[in-house]
C-alpha cells in the first residue's frame, strides 16, 4: 500500500511533470466548460447575429465561465497556491486571462473566417458550425499550452515583485468603496 500512497502523493503534490498533468486536468475541465457554453451560445443564443459578433461574443461568454472554473481549480489543486495572496493571484490571473480571451476570441474568429473561404473544406461537407468548432479546438489548444500554462506556472501562482502592486490595486478600490459607504469618512478607527 505504501507504493500506492507514494504514487497518489506524487500525482497530487509532485512538481514538474505532475504539475503539468494537474494543469492539464484543470485545463480540460475549464476548456470543456468553456467550449460547451461557447457552442450553446454560438448555436442558439447568438444565432441571429452576424458571424463576426456571433463568434466573438460566444467565445467571450465561454471564456469568462471557463476562466473562473480554471482559476479556482488551479489555486487549490494544480499549483497549491494556498499561501499566496488571493488578491495578487486574482489580479495576475485576470491579466493572463484577458490575454487568453483576446487570443482565443480573435484567433478563433480569424481561423474561422480563413477556413470558411477554403472551398475544398466546404466541398468535403464542412458546415459553418463545424468550421467554428475546429477553429475553436485548434486555437484553444495553442493558447492553452503556449500562453496559459507557461504564465500561470511562472507568474500567476508564484510570488513576484508585481504582487505588491496587484494588492495595492485591489486595496485602492476596496478602500475607495468603503469610504463611499461610510459617508466619506476616511479616518481609521
The pLDDT of residue 41 is 96
Which pTM was predicted? 0.70
* Mean per-residue pLDDT, 130-145: 91
In a domain, 83, yes or no: yes
| pLDDT confidence bin for 188, thresholds 50/70/90 | very low
Task: Assess if residue 176 is contained within a domain.
Answer: no
CA nearest neighbour of 53 among 99, 109, 103: 109
- Does 101 reside within a domain? yes
Does any domain span residue 175? Answer: no
pLDDT for the residue 182: 52
The pLDDT tens digits of the residues spanning 150-187 come to 999 999 999 999 999 999 999 999 876 555 555 544 43
> Grid coordinates in use for 99?
490575454
Instruction: For residue 180, report the phi and psi dihedrals to the nearest 5 degrees.
Output: -65, -40
- Whether 187 maps to a domain, the answer reads no
Q: pLDDT tens for residues 65-116? A: 998 899 989 998 899 888 899 999 999 999 998 998 899 989 999 999 999 9
SS3 167: helix
pLDDT for the residue numbered 187: 39
Residue 103 resides in a domain: yes
pLDDT at residue 145 above 90?
A: no
Question: Stretch 120-131: mean pLDDT, rounded?
Answer: 89
Q: Rounded CA gap, 35 and 126, in Å?
A: 19
Tell me what pLDDT residue 176 has: 63
**Residue 4: inside a domain, yes or no?**
no
Residues of the chain above pLDDT 70, percent: 90
- Mean pLDDT over all residues of the chain? 87
- How many domains is the chain built from? 1
Domain span holding position 75: 14-160
3-state secondary structure 37-77: HHHHHHHHHCCCCCHHHHHHHHHHHHHHHHHHHHHHHHHHH
Is the residue at 49 inside a domain?
yes
Amino acid at each position: 500500500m505504501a507504493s500506492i500512497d507514494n504514487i497518489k502523493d506524487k500525482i497530487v503534490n509532485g512538481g514538474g511533470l505532475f504539475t503539468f498533468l494537474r494543469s492539464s486536468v484543470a485545463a480540460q475541465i475549464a476548456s470543456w466548460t468553456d467550449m460547451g457554453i461557447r457552442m450553446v451560445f454560438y448555436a442558439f443564443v447568438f444565432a441571429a447575429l452576424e458571424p463576426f459578433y456571433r463568434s466573438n461574443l460566444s467565445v467571450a461568454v465561454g471564456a469568462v465561465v471557463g476562466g473562473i472554473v480554471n482559476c479556482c481549480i488551479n489555486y487549490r489543486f494544480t499549483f497549491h497556491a494556498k499561501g499566496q495572496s488571493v488578491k495578487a493571484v486574482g489580479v495576475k490571473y485576470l491579466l493572463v486571462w484577458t490575454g487568453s480571451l483576446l487570443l482565443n476570441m480573435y484567433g478563433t474568429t480569424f481561423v474561422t473566417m480563413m477556413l470558411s473561404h477554403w472551398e475544398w473544406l466546404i466541398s468535403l461537407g464542412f458546415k459553418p458550425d463545424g468550421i467554428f468548432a475546429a477553429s475553436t479546438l485548434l486555437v484553444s489548444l495553442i493558447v492553452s499550452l503556449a500562453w496559459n500554462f507557461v504564465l500561470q506556472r511562472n507568474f500567476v501562482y508564484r510570488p513576484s515583485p508585481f504582487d505588491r502592486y496587484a494588492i495595492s490595486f485591489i486595496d485602492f478600490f476596496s478602500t475607495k468603496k468603503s469610504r463611499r459607504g461610510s459617508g466619506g469618512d476616511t479616518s481609521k478607527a
